[in-house]
Amino acid sequence: MQNEEVIRQEAKDFYHNEIEYARRSEAINDFHAIKNRLLDFYSPENKALFLDEISNLVMSSLQKHRDDKHGGKPGIDCGYEKKPVKLLFYIQQEVETLPIVAHQKNAANAKQERKKVFISYSHLDKDYLNDIQRHFKPFLSQIDFWDDTKILPGQKWKNEIRKAIDDSKVAILLVSTDFLGSDFISTNELPPLLQAAEESGAVILIVILKPCLFEEFDALNQYQAMNPPSRPIVKMEDFEKEELYVNLVRQTKRILKGE
For the stretch 166-217, pLDDT in tens is 888 999 999 999 999 999 899 888 888 888 888 888 899 999 999 999 989 9
Q: What CATH number does residue 183 fall under?
A: 3.40.50.10140
Is 33 contained in some domain?
A: yes
Contact partners, residue 64, CB within 8 Å, separation at least 6: none
d(Cα 4, Cα 12) in Å, to the nearest integer? 12
User: In Å, how far are 3, 51, 102, 151, 256 from 98, measured between CA atoms?
Assistant: 17, 10, 12, 36, 22
Sign of the dihedral through C-alpha 67, 72, 75, 79:
positive
d(Cα 50, Cα 45) in Å, to the nearest integer? 9
**Cβ atoms of 91 and 51 closer than 8 Å:** yes
What was the pLDDT predicted at 137?
A: 93
Pair 120, 75 in one domain: no
Residue 251 has pLDDT above 70, yes or no: yes
Could you tell me which residues are beta bridge partners of residue 145?
Answer: 117
Pair 152, 220 in one domain: yes
Mean pLDDT of 151-174: 79
Residue 53 has pLDDT above 50, yes or no: yes
- What is the tens place of the pLDDT at every residue in 57-95? 999 999 999 999 898 888 888 888 899 999 999 998 888
Pair 211, 126 in one domain: yes
Pair 174, 70 in one domain: no
Mean pLDDT of 28-53: 86
Pair 67, 145 in one domain: no
Mean pLDDT of 31-36: 91
**Plot region of 152 (φ>0 → left; ψ -120 to 50 → alpha; else → beta):** beta
pLDDT band per the 50, 70, 90 thresholds, residue 110: very low
**Cβ atoms of 247 and 45 closer than 8 Å:** yes
What was the pLDDT predicted at 1?
A: 43
Residue 109 has pLDDT above 60, yes or no: no
Is 159 contained in some domain?
A: yes
pLDDT band per the 50, 70, 90 thresholds, residue 54: very high
pLDDT band per the 50, 70, 90 thresholds, residue 156: low
Q: What domain count does the chain have?
A: 2
Q: Single out the residue in 44, 65, 95 at which a domain terminates.
A: 95
What was the pLDDT predicted at 20?
A: 86
Contact partners, residue 243, CB within 8 Å, separation at least 6: 99
Q: Single out the residue in 95, 128, 153 at which a domain terminates.
A: 95
d(Cα 190, Cα 227) in Å, to the nearest integer? 20
Is 251 contained in some domain?
A: yes
**80 against 128, higher pLDDT:** 128
Q: How many Cβ atoms sit within 10 Å of the Cβ of residue 74?
A: 12
Pair 88, 131 in one domain: no
Pair 240, 139 in one domain: yes
Pair 145, 243 in one domain: yes
d(Cα 104, Cα 31) in Å, to the nearest integer? 26
Contact partners, residue 122, CB within 8 Å, separation at least 6: 174, 176, 178, 179, 182, 185
